[in-house]
Amino acid sequence: MLENQVVIVTGGTRGIGEGIVKLLLNEKAKTIVLAKNKNSIAKLQEAFVGLGDLDTYQCDVTSSEQVSNVIDTIFKKYGRIDTLVNNAGVGVWKPVEEMTEEDWDSQINTNLKGAFLCSQAVYKKMMVNNGGQIVNIASDLAYNTTEKASAYCASKWGLLGLSHTMNKEGKKYGIRVTSVSPGLVQTDFGGVLASKKATGLTVETVADQVLAVIKAGKDAGAIDVIIRP
């Protein structure tokens, strides 16, 4: 059980993030969700009312000011942060010649910069507060490539590099930074509805793996999980 542990999940109002939040609430963790959309937050609160200790904050993870303010607020309220799950992400599927600068920036800024900003803010708290762990939701496309996913692949390859580097730097502070990289997941993502995906991992399968990483013993100094259908 993760009773009373303070766990932050970014992009926790739908898809993989929502699945992770549900498991954390069942584990009695103090579960904190950061999300950009106020309506999505309201729907999550309604869906999980009475399930456990859920706290929510509206936050754009690509804004250093918003991230810094929210993490400071959370730390002051709870006195510690045990785990951060960087799950917020976007995907745009277009061939390179059709990929706009806006398409590129939206994916790099959310998937990579957002994870960096949240990780850095939480990392600083963990450095002086007996460590903790950060779990980055990467992708099978952090190891492979596919057509029409240049920016998405670039963001996830970058996220994997960020994870490995921060893990090496964090060991002396008792901070573990790991990654979970799922293949195709049966969620609405990147403009493709879950109903259009004939195969793929369930949200529950991915969330189970994330929970296993969170609960892994401290003797596991480095963890990289790849999940393929």
Q: How many helices (H) and strands (E) does the chain have?
A: 7, 7
Among 78, 123, 152, 173, the active-site one is: 152
**DSSP state for residue 27 in the 8-state scheme:** T
Q: CA dist 74 to 4, 55, 110, 116, 188, Å? A: 14, 10, 21, 18, 30
Q: Decide if 95 contacts 17 (C-beta within 8 A).
A: no
152 part of the active site: yes
DSSP string, 48-103: TTTTS-EEEEE--TT-HHHHHHHHHHHHHHHS---EEEE-------B-GGG--HHH
Q: Is 148 left (phi over 0), alpha (psi -120 to 50) or beta?
A: left
List, in order, residues 6 or more apart from 101 with CB less than 8 Å away: none
Residues forming the active site: 152
